[in-house]
Structure 1
Amino acid sequence: MGSSHPIARIALYICVFLFVFTEVLFSPFYPQFFQKVFGVSDLQFTGNYLFLCRLSVVAASPVWGWLSKKVDRKRLLLIGQAGTGLSCGMMALAVTETQFAVWSLILLLFKSSYLLLYPLLLESAMDQKKVTANYHALAQCAAAGAALASSWLIQLKDPLSVFWWIGGLDLLQALICMAVLSKTKTESRIHKTPIPASASAARKSRDLYFLMKLGITVFTLHFAVTLIRPLFTVYTEAEYGSSYVESSFLFLLPSFMTLAALPVMKKLKSENLRNVYMISGAMVLISILLQGGSSTFVLFTAGRCLFGFFLAICLASLDMSLFQKGKEAGHQYGWMCSFQNLGLLLAPVSVPAFTENGASSVPFWAAGVVLAVHLPAAFVALRRNSSLTKAKAA
């Protein structure tokens, strides 16, 4: 799928938005959802549900990446979209919380195939940094929109019926991709040049080493930034007396700051990725410490703005570092998603170990410590890729 197919790229962008939007929908209000729909008031059930959901994504992501080596990505994406749509329909028919949870896990096994959207987008454009910037901005906007929509949808008489609409959107995505991507099937063939066995083994060893270093970088970054999320609104309400609306705005502010960082992300250069990442990562660290140590609402808000702006640049730099490796990176992206989801999985579980009081600023300081460890790891991980880029340029 070459750059001469803007319609295909637009279709994939639509799928990215809908994927993130439907995935985040209801996530801020799952305790209220289970209480209203199934009469489950035990918060432990919600915690276990979210833990198992994230764990299923950790397990499924590398599987889809591995399958993309064997089967055409577009075909896998269609299978995942169709399976997701049907699973949503079964969730809408659930009569108990257990049935809902089981079908949620099945849905996520299929929905993990959506990670193939990103490599397909990168393959469809000549300017990968533009695609990377657009992808992150679009994903953050979709997440913010879903969070806002959730506050309205949870008030419906039957919130479970929303999953019929979600399933319909997934099936619609499958139809759009089937119509658009099928026209570019012959252009997406990869012509491989035979590689000697010794050279292939050496390359695989280097790739695995690089993948592990980058994986640790991805894990520590997402673990750190996720530590401050579970009790964020509780903290802002207790510390600053903010209303629900103000707390929601502060929670979503980093997502909106991604749009402000969009022009910077589009100007990233391969040879400067490590320097840009280290500077941005240091600013993320400073912004988190600023949030934890601020004494005024204005200073806290400024910290949130800095946090969102530089975190977006960090994420874009990491993606570019991986996808500089060419088409092979598309297969490895599944592993990166697993490291990311592992951080998202373990961070909420770790929060009680840092604080027993929801109003405490300790999660911010803990996140700062993790980031202080993260930055040297990122420096080492990106060094090899920087050297590789300079060698190619020479």
Structure 2
Amino acid sequence: MFGSLTQLRNIVLLMTGCGVVSDSLLIAFYPQFFGNRYGMTDPVWIGSYMAGISIAVMCALPVWARLARHIETIHLLIGTQFIAGCLCLLSIWAPTANSYAALSISMFVIKASYLLMFPYLMRLETPERHSDTVAMLSVVIHMAMIFAATIGGWILEYLGPSQCIALMALGDFIQMGLSLWLLKSGRIVATAAADREQARQEQADKARAEEAASASENLTETLATDTPVTLSHTPILNPWVALIGLSVLMLIFNFSAYVSRPFFSVYWQEQSGISDTTVSGLVFAIPGMMALAGLLVNRKLGKVWQHRLGHTATNMVITAVGLLLQGSEQTALLLLGQMLYGWGLFQLIVRIEVSLFRISKPSNYARDFAITNLFQKVGALLSSFGAGVIVESIGAQMTFFAAVAGFLVALLINLFWVMIDRHHPAPQRAVTEATHAPG
């Protein structure tokens, strides 16, 4: 079973990487893509298009999560990724920017189902492995974005926009093929049937609890004192309150983290004087490289230092400082800022994402993930649309300062409401030392 789970985990990570590459090939170059292909250079239109992608995924994912309670996730992906790949191929022949936007956004609606692989994977892992799994997943995503940004810039410059779109479709078909292989090889773990059985069990438990509560009303005060009746009570922190608080924090976090990204490559080319899109892609990918460094450092130093390095408020400050440096208009400081931004962002993503699975329960992972993803996509929507408006009215430099302001708001929300770190108690040093002690 362990070997099968390891193989399944690796395939899920590979599928996620393919999905991210497919999504991210053009994400750093939409201004250049629309300018070269359609002559569309309006930053508000481009920002609105990127916001439209966020709206599409935001609205579609809860529907896919509900379907996944009745249809196994892998079965679902086989059909959806095939349709997404076909829509992507059709967009190659879109004659106008608006027709391309309609086809590609429809593709993202269907393609959004692959995001269910994240809660699916977390259901299969033990809670002790959640942090490691999220960290590994984050690195896979960042490395996929590095690859996508690098190869996307090269293909766009030397081969053309149509080849970028074709490669995006290839990623969808690879995901479909991997899903088919998992199904044929019998390596999938069924979750939909387990969810239905657990729902029936919860209904039965609720009925029994209501009967016990009704019976307890007939007990005398003395008997109630001498023989306490154990009932199900609402915890001190209601899970829905915790979930909404975390979701609001994710909204502000996503806006702050990504409002500077849509026009970063344009800003870099203006500040550095380097117009090569391959170089722009590599600079854009620096945060992904820092995510890989963060994973290696966390693993090398162990659980105690991993917990310390993941402190939420500290990493929000580090990320904000990185954004300030990127807005300094000095090339060296911009690169340093990218590094600090990438380091802080990686630590924050791991800490925040794991928090969801600390306040949720396995049968609700897909549902709660869809809820938090909804808020995340609202944040991404605001960042995309806001970036276009800010660049049009003020300039690309101001997007970094808007991001800093957002992180300050997120810091206050975390300190006085959500308090992410309370869901991550410090590991015992003695246990860590015992684990690494020579045998």
TM-score category by the smaller chain? 0.7 to 0.9
**What is the percent sequence identity of the aligned residues?**
24
Q: Measure the CA separation in 1 of the matches of 2:171 and 2:268.
A: 35
Q: Measure the CA separation in 2 of the matches of 1:381 and 1:105.
A: 35
Cross-structure match for 1:123: 123
Cross-structure match for 1:302: 336
Corresponding residue to 1:212 among 229, 237, 244: 244
Cross-structure match for 1:261: 294
Match status 1:374 vs 2:410? yes
Match status 1:320 vs 2:354? yes
Q: Deviations over 1:210-253 (max 9, x none)?
A: 12111111111111122222443444445554554655443221
Residues 210, 288 of structure 1: alpha-carbon distance in 2 compared, 3 angstrom cutoff: same
Q: Measure the CA separation in 1 of the matches of 2:176 and 2:36.
A: 31
Worse-superposed segment, 327-336 or 239-248: 239-248
Alignment of 1:81-92 (within 5 A): 81-92=81-92
Compute the TM-score of the two structures, normalised by the length of structure 2: 0.76
What root-mean-square deviation, in Å, do the aligned CA atoms of Structure 1 and Structure 2 show?
3.4
Residues 383, 268 of structure 1: alpha-carbon distance in 2 compared, 3 angstrom cutoff: farther
Residues 16, 295 of structure 1: alpha-carbon distance in 2 compared, 3 angstrom cutoff: closer
Structure 1 counterpart SS, 2:395: coil
Cross-structure match for 1:174: 176
Question: How many correspondences in the alignment?
Answer: 387
Match status 1:196 vs 2:233? no
8 Å Cα contact 2:22/2:169 also seen in 1: no
8 Å Cα contact 1:354/1:366 also seen in 2: no
Alignment of 1:271-286 (within 5 A): 276-286=311-321
Q: Deviations over 1:348-372 (max 9, x none)?
A: 3224358844364x33233222211
8 Å Cα contact 1:16/1:117 also seen in 2: yes
Structure 2 counterpart SS, 1:26: coil
What 5-or-longer segments of structure 1 have no aligned partner?
Answer: none
Corresponding residue to 2:373 among 337, 352, 356: 337
Cross-structure match for 2:395: 358
Cross-structure match for 1:289: 324
8 Å Cα contact 2:265/2:281 also seen in 1: yes
Alignment of 1:90-169 (within 5 A): 90-126=90-126, 127-155=129-157, 159-160=161-162, 162-169=164-171
Alpha-carbon offset, residue 7 of structure 1: 2.2
What 5-or-longer segments of structure 2 have no aligned partner?
Answer: 211-230, 427-439
Worse-superposed segment, 239-248 or 4-13: 239-248
Q: Deviations over 1:49-104 (max 9, x none)?
A: 32322221121122222333333222222232222122223223434444322221
Q: Measure the CA separation in 1 of the matches of 2:371 and 2:279.
A: 37
Q: Measure the CA separation in 1 of the matches of 2:189 and 2:270.
A: 58
Q: Deviations over 1:14-65 (max 9, x none)?
A: 1111100011112333344345444556555534432322221121122222
Cross-structure match for 2:27: 27
Q: Measure the CA separation in 1 of the matches of 2:420 and 2:166.
A: 47
Amino acid paired to 1:208: W
Alpha-carbon offset, residue 3 of structure 1: 6.3
